[in-house]
Structure 1
């Protein structure tokens, strides 16, 4: 039995409401998220380097500000599942948080010379971003039947890839001219994304449970759901989420530390060191829809496993390379591997949430991956402190290999879920 058959009874008559055009509009919201976070992650380490010599301390600061996001994500996810408002379940969070995120993003370079102001501003920025990141991504499964979610998420990631590419390819070069241009444009894009999402999304989309609910405590609801992951019947889900946490250590650590590697090891300017990452972002952009198509054909988990093998091999191959153009070529292949992994991840988690727990399960996805993003810069920064700058690639490869093992074991243990997943585990590399 496949996803389409399972869904036919529950969603009969709803498939005709699905529109890929609507998914493209939702993608504008993710474009804003990725553009703003990419600039933030790329240039905050360089700002902190003015205050601290240790790469591990820089990485730690890049992670600890996300603690508030870690607390918010599952609570906001559970809360959005319970929301009963004229604007629907997700839009209230989006409308409140984006203006705050835009303002604080714009303010980052203005306060960069004062350490405590910089820390406060980035905490406010990340809190606002994480308050609406889960709800805006939940709009995709809310508007999409399960059997189409890999392809739809390919579109969402394509739009996010455009945001990342613009940040690396344009805003990073503007940073060398004036950092206020980079962060100011990012704030404007966030506000524009709010306008697009507000105008285009359904207030009560067809693939989410829109029935009114009795009032619940989102904190207790989130805590109960997290405790469930420790029960024997959920070991597969837990290991898959743990794999996602682990590979995000490698991904986020490399994104945060590569600008330092580029400046110190490759001899590039700060802006050009970030520009090298354009090859990774551009490749992801090109392959996002292709990766969604592959996931629909061979299954989400097998596709992720292939990507989790490809990326660490490329990291290890990059260790002796000192030519920026060759590093860029390796990152092109890395973007393909990352697309195979990342395009499948959120739809896989959303499928486990069914129609009534999509927001919470996407909250879990972001909670686990946020832990990876929090610890990744510190872990890879520590590796650089201990064994030199090449430790960034060695540590990154190790975490991707560990994620491969966890994902493979989790796939074998995954049993009953809201969506039939036999197609996702029948072919493994």
Structure 2
């Protein structure tokens, strides 16, 4: 009888949560930063230049400062922290010990100097430099101190802790801001210092444990150079989707607080509650979003998230331009006294939060799934290059667009916020659909000529649209559904049998998980094989139909000539055409039966092997 899996192999949730407090300190500050800094900058700038038409552009420039600093400071700090080791402190903690107190101090100064433009900008700049000093080291604690097999779960814990920090920051600052503006910022700074104390008492770095590489990370120039040599069109479209998604998200984050105060006429603290509510829905939906990604795959889950977000943002874009009061009612759920309307809007906001969570969890995994084991870090670099580029360019570009709208149409430029965000997300949908199409084509293993036939067949038959989106090229749904049903039944039987072994102690949990994983991998291989077979059948059928249509046209032309010469009556022509159609139907049916029989024989052979 095998020994049971030792307790030490279980995922260390407590340890991972403690390691995540560095990320907690970043998120709690940045969530408050994203709300109040745009408002402070706008208010100060308008105090100096009351009639300026560039106010949104200036806000956009200030809000990309953190990403510009991160672009230059974080790679250098990350490289340095990989190479040094200080006795009793380690690789990462020296930077964390310096960065968190500085960030907390300058964050407090942002609230203190909210009415003094020059000191406000200085505080903002040094706060972002301080965060950049410790952000890369603090995020490296999870991969450094957890075994490789636990890193995905560790990343999930990191995200949940970061999300909770954002919600706490938004609600706490909203409460304290009503008492004293500077107090809200110094209180957040104090919490950041508590996070540092937790890390000091919980982090024990080992120079030899779980550190994968001591090499310096590649700089942005090298990452861009490597990308030029990637011959993978699906990767390029995936990165375009990442860029457009971040373009929309970063603009929403940068301008939403200003939008709620200037367009919706909310108080400054109400803007916190809006983002806090969305963040809360995001945390609630994190587990379902992860399950969706595991069930459908990261690509299809991210696509569903983008489509859901697009469907919810389009009405908001319309009402924001036509009637902003409707958008205000959406954000203030408690304003509705009619129960049906309240729950309709509640569902709307839930879908919005859920879709954002699905996108954020799965879009990076889409890029990772295209990489070999040796190139995970390189592909992560590609992702962040496009994400940072969007975070730098998009808020500035959006600010200019909003100022142009204000000048040309004599309305508040920020009323176009959701239009801008919606356009970016729709673009991301089309980019990810392109990724899906390219990957399905590759999975089918067909020649370019065969793919052309399938594309032509799909275009001719509008009814194939839904199967085309779900399965690719309108491949027959029923065999795939039947196969999936059969696989689900196999999995249930397999799990039931192995749970008995697990219960008796004849099998460890690790062995059980590996066996389930192997079976699912085999099921995926079977499905891919079936899809290739179905696609091949589609091609063969389309070629056969093309030949039959050509034969029918030639036959009809020939017999029409006979009828003109008087050698054949119209009734005889119609009878001959009817007989030919029946004969061709029989030929086509025989071909289908032959193809199905061949497919079943091949699948039986694969199963036997």
| Band of TM-score, shorter chain | 0.7 to 0.9
Are positions 1:40 and 2:40 aligned together? Answer: no
Structure 1: 5+ residue runs without aligned partners?
A: 1-12, 416-421
Q: Which SS does the other structure have where 1:322 is aligned?
A: helix
CA pair 198-307 structure 1, distance change in 2 beyond 3 A: farther
**Structure 2 counterpart of 1:264:** 262
From 304, 313, 333, the counterpart of 2:351 = 333
Q: Which residue of 2 aligns with 1:315?
A: 313
Pick the aligned partner of 1:369 from 371, 383, 387.
387
Matched, 1:278 2:276: yes
C-alpha distance 334-140 of structure 1, shift in aligned 2 (>3 A): farther
CA positional deviation for 1:367: 4.5
- 1:229 corresponds to which of 216, 227, 230: 227
Residue in structure 1 matched with residue 250 of structure 2 by the alignment: 252
Q: Which is greater in Rg?
A: 2
Count of residues in Structure 1 that have an aligned counterpart in Structure 2: 400
| Relative contact order, higher structure (CA 8 A, sep 6+) | 1
The answer as to 2:14 corresponding to 1:21 is yes
| Structure 1 residues 94 and 407: alpha-carbon distance in aligned structure 2, compared to 1, 3 A threshold | farther
Deviations 1:389-416 (A, max 9, x none): 331001111112223333454575799x
Q: CA deviation at 1:128?
A: 1.6
Q: Counterparts of 1:314 and 1:74 in 2: how far apart (Å)?
A: 37
Is 1:106–1:187's contact at 8 Å kept on the other side of the alignment?
Answer: yes
Asked if residue 243 in structure 1 is aligned to residue 241 in structure 2, the reply is: yes
Q: Does 1:104 align with 2:102?
A: no
| Aligned twin of 1:31 | 24
Closer/same/farther in 2, CA of residues 346 and 239 from structure 1, 3 Å limit:
same
Q: 1:389-408 alignment to 2 at 5 Å?
A: 389-408=414-433
Of residues 365, 385, 402, the one that matches 1:384 is 402
Q: Which runs of 5+ in 2 are unaligned?
A: 1-5, 47-51, 333-345, 406-412, 443-520, 532-609
Residues 341, 202 of structure 1: CA spacing in aligned structure 2 closer, same or farther, 3 A cutoff? farther
Give the structure 2 partner of residue 185 of structure 1.
187
Shift of 1:110: 1.9
Deviates more, 1:192-201 or 1:117-126: 192-201
Change (3 A) 1:37 1:367: farther
Cα gap change, 1:39 to 1:338, in 2 (>3 Å): same
Partner of 1:135: 137
CA distance in 1, matches of 2:297, 2:390: 24
Closer, same or farther: CA 379–265 of 1 in aligned 2, 3 Å: same
**Aligned-residue CA RMSD in angstroms?**
3.4
Structure 1 residues 255 and 88, CA, compared in 2 at 3 Å: closer, same or farther? same
TM-score, structure 2 as length reference = 0.58
